[in-house]
Amino acid sequence: MPEETVWYKYRLFGEWQWVSIAMLVGFWAFPFVFLLSRWTKRIVPSLVFFAVWQLVFHWLDLYWNVMPSYDWLSSAQEGHQVLTGPLTGSILDHHVGFSLLDLTVWFGLIGVLLFGIGRNLRGNLIPIKDPTLGLSLAHENL
């Protein structure tokens, strides 16, 4: 079990500590407290806010789980080249590696989504050339 739990040591201390605290508060505590009352669940803008809030923190959770916290470095120790990597070294060597590439990936995914939505909106929502369109529009559920 130590090979799995050492990962959390590097995530809960050092530069990743603020991400861990933000996840605890923002992903669970803040929505839990505010969604306990009825009025926040009955007002649509508050539900939209919490839906977007949860999506942002879900992305942060995935980022927290997936991103490496240490650069692979080649260092010389006792005259030999040693490759150091994840889960090695002191906690202070592990850092949050947020870069511009992380934002561009999101913009690219949003662009692909908007392209797909735009392409699907070109077609008709009602099948105009359907021979049974009149019967379908006249149908009533009892």
Residue 136 belongs to a domain: no
Alpha helices in 43-98 (DSSP H): 44-66
Residue 88 belongs to a domain: yes
Q: Which domain holds residue 74?
A: 2-123
Residue 132 belongs to a domain: no
CB-based contact 82:71 (threshold 8 Å) = no
Q: Token digits for 3? A: 């090979």
Residue 66 belongs to a domain: yes
What is the per-residue pLDDT across 109-119, written as a single tens digit (0 to 9) for each? 999 999 999 99
Residue 134 belongs to a domain: no
What is the per-residue pLDDT across 33-66, written as a single tens digit (0 to 9) for each? 999 999 888 999 999 999 999 999 998 898 888 8
**How much is the pTM?**
0.60
Residue 20 belongs to a domain: yes
What is the per-residue pLDDT across 2-32, written as a single tens digit (0 to 9) for each? 667 777 777 887 778 888 899 999 999 999 9
Residue 48 belongs to a domain: yes
Total domains present in the chain = 1
Residue 37 belongs to a domain: yes
What is the per-residue pLDDT across 85-142, written as a single tens digit (0 to 9) for each? 555 555 555 667 677 887 898 899 999 999 999 999 998 888 888 999 999 889 898 7
